Amino acid sequence: MAQGSWERIGIPSDRFLREVFFIDSITGWVVGDSGTILHTADGGLNWEVQQSNTYNDIVTVFFLDHQRGWASTYNYASQPYGTVLLKTVNGGADWIAEPYPQENIFITCILFQDTLTGWMGGMPHALVKTVNGGADWVQASIDTSVLAFFPVLGIRFYNEKYGYACGGMFDIAGVTWHTSNGGETWAAMDVADAPADEVHQLHLFDSITVLGAGGDPDFGYGVGLLRTTDGGFNWDYEELGIQGTAYDIAFRTGSEAWAPLGPRRKLMRSIDSGNTWTESDTPDTTVIYHITFPDSLHGYAAGMHGAFLKYKPAGNLSAPPGSQNAPGLILGQNYPNPVSQSTVIPVSVPEGEPRLVTIRILDILGRPVDAPFNAVLHQGKHEIPFNAKALPAGVYFIILETADGGRNRIATLPVKMTVVK
């Protein structure tokens, strides 16, 4: 498989950019120190500086759609110390600040499942839920194990029932939590399975199969990965023999994953679902901490001193088996995504003769589960509605197919769609 590459993109900031979030392939935000919020609507070619109205460091950002977003800032300057949350309902044109109600809690991660239901994690310990859009936050019920009340660094939900969180403390213990009842109760991993350092982020293959990234930067230990195949009850920890710590993990496709190694100025890549890894230098020896892929063709990463990277896919990346790249056709990211019922699939057709195109929905194993569209499309941009109500919760892939001379099937690279119930 040919390997894509990364290029550094100029950005109007020299701050520590702590996190990057893209709602689709071109619309994104990056946040960082000293109140930095930047917004792009063209995949990073141009940036708008948004007014956060704070000089506090902004550590995390999450957008539910193109308009509604949340961010977390840390107030160390004046009492009461703790988190000041930022919220926008107009894409960041205006950010409204509101102190988190509990002092000395520092929110590290934010996840909203819909306009009302959201989760946040924090330090020294916090795993909190809202059911009214953030007006109130309630601490989740966690078991009383030794690892129950460590800092939370990442939260992921596979669907409304199954969720995972991760965190820990450097040189003390890493920890994961899991829930199978929508977060009514959470259970921490067994102490015997816990690594010695934080678990920074998780990737959910399905409701019971999860990969966690972390490690110990001290010499002789290095990057470590956690795996569970039984829903978080048992975990296996593996040291890769690669120096550093994986501060994040993101999958570009179902099998290709990337992880940044921070101050080591390296990126790790796997093409076999995280079983084996290779490392490479970052462009311009940048220090990268966070990485995201809104779809299989677009990736973005951010880090120290205004570092911002954009993924460049290889020219001969393959489409689904039996297919080739479809020249000129563009399949955009469906929105909203995740989707519970209805979504829209953007399609662009280049100049020339009208095309007979087919949209197919594949499950995570690449098996067709639906073909919601089969018609002739003319030049221009089209929005194809799709009702996902009949699909079970999970991860799916959308592909757009056409014909080459009426004989060979060719397709765009897949776009990932998450269905929640």
Is 319 a domain residue? no
pLDDT reading at 64 higher than 60: yes
pLDDT reading at 364 higher than 80: no
If one counts every other C-beta atom within 10 angstroms of the C-beta of residue 228, the result is: 21
CA dihedral 42→47→51→56, nearest 10 degrees, is 110
Whether 206 and 344 map to the same domain: the answer is no
Lowest mean pLDDT among 48-52, 57-61, 75-79, 176-180: 75-79
Is 388 a domain residue? yes
Residue 403's pLDDT band (cuts 50, 70, 90): low
Whether 304 and 335 map to the same domain: the answer is no
Is 323 a domain residue? no
Domain holding 362: CATH number?
Answer: 2.60.40.1930
Domain holding 152: CATH number?
Answer: 2.130.10.10
Residue 253's pLDDT band (cuts 50, 70, 90): confident
Of 60, 66, 64, 35, the residue nearest 50 (C-alpha): 35
Average pLDDT over residues 250-275: 94
Whether 240 and 370 map to the same domain: the answer is no
Q: What is the C-alpha to C-alpha distance for residues 220 and 54, in angstroms, rounded to an integer? A: 41
Whether 209 and 77 map to the same domain: the answer is yes
Whether 36 and 165 map to the same domain: the answer is yes
Is 177 a domain residue? yes
Q: What is the C-alpha to C-alpha distance for residues 21 and 290, in angstroms, rounded to an integer? A: 9
Is 411 a domain residue? yes
Whether 219 and 349 map to the same domain: the answer is no
Whether 132 and 103 map to the same domain: the answer is yes
Is 369 a domain residue? yes
Is 204 a domain residue? yes
Whether 304 and 340 map to the same domain: the answer is no
State the residue range of the domain holding 374. 330-419
Whether 368 and 306 map to the same domain: the answer is no
Checking DSSP bridges between strand 118-123 and strand 152-157, what pairing results, if any?
unpaired
Whether 343 and 300 map to the same domain: the answer is no
Is 413 a domain residue? yes
155-207 pLDDT per residue, tens: 999 888 999 999 999 989 999 999 999 999 999 999 999 999 999 999 999 89
Whether 300 and 349 map to the same domain: the answer is no
pLDDT, residue 323, reads 37
Average pLDDT over residues 61-70: 94
pLDDT, residue 319, reads 39
Q: Apex CA 222: angle with CA 219 and CA 225, to 5°?
A: 160
What's the half-sphere exposure (Cβ side, CA atoms, 13 Å) at 314?
A: 10
Whether 273 and 220 map to the same domain: the answer is yes
Total domains in the chain come to 2
pLDDT, residue 2, reads 53
pTM value is 0.77
Average pLDDT over residues 4-20: 96
Distance in angstroms between the alpha carbons of the first and the last residue of the chain: 35
pLDDT reading at 305 higher than 70: yes
Q: What is the C-alpha to C-alpha distance for residues 418 and 312, in angstroms, rounded to an integer? A: 24
